[in-house]
Amino acid sequence: MAQPNPLTTPPPGADTQLVPGHVEHAEAHSGAFPPFETSGFLSQLIWLALAFGLLYYLMDKVALPRIQAILHARAERLRADLDQAQAMKAEADAAGIAYETALRDAQGKARDIAQTTRNELAAEADAKRKALETELNAKLATAEATIRARTEAAMGNVRSIAGEAASAIVERLTGQAPDSATLDRALDATAH
Amino acid sequence: MAVTIDPIHQFELKPLVSLGHIGHQQLAFTQSALYMFAAVGVIALITVVATASRSVVPGRMQSLAEIFYEFIADTLHQATGDGGKRFMPLVFSLFMFVLILNLFGMIPYAFAVTSHLIITFGLAALVISVVVIYGVMKHGTHFFGLFVPSGVPKPLLAILVPIEIISFISRPISLSVRLFANVLAGHIAMKIFAFFVVQLLLAGAWSVLSPLPLFLTIALTALEFLVAALQAYVFATLTAIYLNDALHPGH
């Protein structure tokens, strides 16, 4: 498929396409169909080559490198700006995190202080309460001991009174005082 | 009422400066050549003059140049991948040249350069020459593997290879005829329908029908603008696809 120069030598297939043109050309002077007027082909190809060559040169050497440079510069600029924005955002985020950390620390510290104070106060109150309780318990024990002593004393008195009364009653009834052993036995029996 | 229709007259070459003859060939600077250089001038205006300031924030014309550039770069990249970058100037020049010449043809009384088969064939032949020359330079004989589809049983190749060769040879023809025929047919149709308006207006009572071809002419004009842009795009896309064969001849 290597043609010597397709620009001036149309491939074999093209000839069949151009057949109507050739036919038209046979009567060219009586107004042939202008696009198939072969007498202008060489001239048109030459001007096409010159114009398109010039265009290609301009595009290749000037226009496209410049547009590419513009687009590249813009992309760079956008990237740089985005990077900067990203960096700033990171900075702001870091500041936010630092603030939150500080806040959390402060809150923790405050909570600790409050807790310590509360604990201290509670311990103090507890100690006071215990001291008071001990004191009261002691007082209570003393009072109970006193009551018990008094009760025992009273109970002792009751026994002697009951003995005396019993012996007096027995003496009156029988005319004879019971001996103390019998009296004690009787008292014990009634006491329990 | 000697109004005669001549839809062909618009395609005639008018020599502005005659330069003599070489045998049968007439050498002349025609209006066609003038339009071609004017197109180069307009393209240079858009892509060279308008981008001279290299603004980061583009103006209208620079924006236009950038849009064309990115459009063609995308098309080329889709068809050929990364290796196609070297053909950007060729595809971009072809697209802009065909587009501006097509649009010039839409200006009333202007000449449609792309309605001449020799012009479109010249461009198509350039494309195919580049494909063949680059393909052979880059891949040597391996380039002709293009005509041998892989993974096909041997007996089938006897049929397929000639078909592939014929389809390859018909590429410059289809590429050039498609553009030429679209522009030519469109301009003839517009001329004929526009002529119907005049003819009906001169036909007494029939003139009440004259708005019909008028509307049709307006619709056709819109269609031709579409065709002008579309054919430039098709030309550039097919060029990119053919170049892909030169870059990656393996089927």
B130 and B26 in contact (C-beta within 8 Å)? Answer: no
- Tens digit of each residue's pLDDT (9 = 90 or more) over A57-99: 999 999 999 999 999 999 999 999 999 999 999 999 999 999 9
Determine the residue among A9, A30, A37, A70 to mutate to test chain B binding: the one whose Cβ has the most chain B Cβ atoms within 10 Å. Answer: A70
Number of domains in chain B: 1
- Which stretch, A161-175, A177-191, B159-173, has highest mean pLDDT? B159-173
Chain A contact for B140, CB < 8 A? Answer: no
Predicted-complex ipTM score: 0.89
Q: How many CB pairs under 8 A join A and B?
A: 171
Instruction: Look at residue A26 and tell me whether its pLDDT is greater than 80.
Output: no
Q: Read off the pLDDT band of B20 (50, 70, 90).
A: confident
Average pLDDT of the residues in B84-106: 95
- Tens digit of each residue's pLDDT (9 = 90 or more) over A134-144: 999 999 999 99
User: Is A1 in Cβ contact with B28 (below 8 Å)?
Assistant: no
Check residue B54 and give its pLDDT: 84
What average pLDDT does the structure give for chain B? Answer: 90
Q: What is the DSSP letter of A32?
A: -
Average pLDDT of the residues in B17-38: 88
Check residue B206 and give its pLDDT: 85
Check residue A27 and give its pLDDT: 38
Check residue B129 and give its pLDDT: 94
Does residue B101 fall inside a structural domain?
Answer: yes
Chain A residues inside the 8 Å CB shell of B8: 31, 33-34
Distance CA A33, CA A17 (A): 14
Check residue A145 and give its pLDDT: 94
Helix runs in B81-143, H state only: 88-105, 117-139
CA neighbor of B36 nearest in space, from A59, A62, A41, A49: A49
Does residue B49 fall inside a structural domain?
Answer: yes
Residue A19 burial by CB count (10 A; 0-12/13-18/19+): exposed, middle or buried? Answer: exposed
Check residue B140 and give its pLDDT: 86
Average pLDDT of the residues in B64-68: 93
Q: Read off the pLDDT band of A11 (50, 70, 90).
A: very low
Distance CA B169, CA B32 (A): 28
Does residue B75 fall inside a structural domain?
Answer: yes
User: Is A70 in Cβ contact with B66 (below 8 Å)?
Assistant: yes
| Residue of chain B whose Cα is closest to the Cα of A3 | B129
Nearest-neighbour CA in chain A from B220: distance (Å): 22
Sign of CA dihedral B234, B237, B239, B245: negative
Distance CA B100, CA A51 (A): 13
Does residue B73 fall inside a structural domain?
Answer: yes
User: Is A37 in Cβ contact with B128 (below 8 Å)?
Assistant: no
Check residue B1 and give its pLDDT: 47
Average pLDDT of the residues in B149-165: 86
CA neighbor of B46 nearest in space, from A20, A145, A147, A63: A63
Check residue A191 and give its pLDDT: 66
Q: Read off the pLDDT band of A2 (50, 70, 90).
A: very low
3-state secondary structure of B81: helix
Chain A contact for B148, CB < 8 A? Answer: no
Instruction: Look at residue A10 and tell me whether its pLDDT is greater than 90.
Output: no
Average pLDDT of the residues in A33-44: 84
Does residue B17 fall inside a structural domain?
Answer: no
Domain residue limits at B47: 28-247
Does residue B138 fall inside a structural domain?
Answer: yes
Does residue B20 fall inside a structural domain?
Answer: no
Check residue B238 and give its pLDDT: 95
Higher pLDDT, B175 or B145: B175
Nearest to B172 among A6, A59, A62 (CB): A6
Check residue B3 and give its pLDDT: 62
Nearest-neighbour CA in chain B from A97: distance (Å): 37
Chain A residues inside the 8 Å CB shell of B39: 51, 55
User: Is B115 in Cβ contact with A63 (below 8 Å)?
Assistant: no
Using the structure block, give the residue that is written with the tokens 């209006």.
Answer: B31
Does residue B2 fall inside a structural domain?
Answer: no
- Tens digit of each residue's pLDDT (9 = 90 or more) over B176-220: 999 999 999 999 999 999 999 988 888 888 888 888 999 999 999
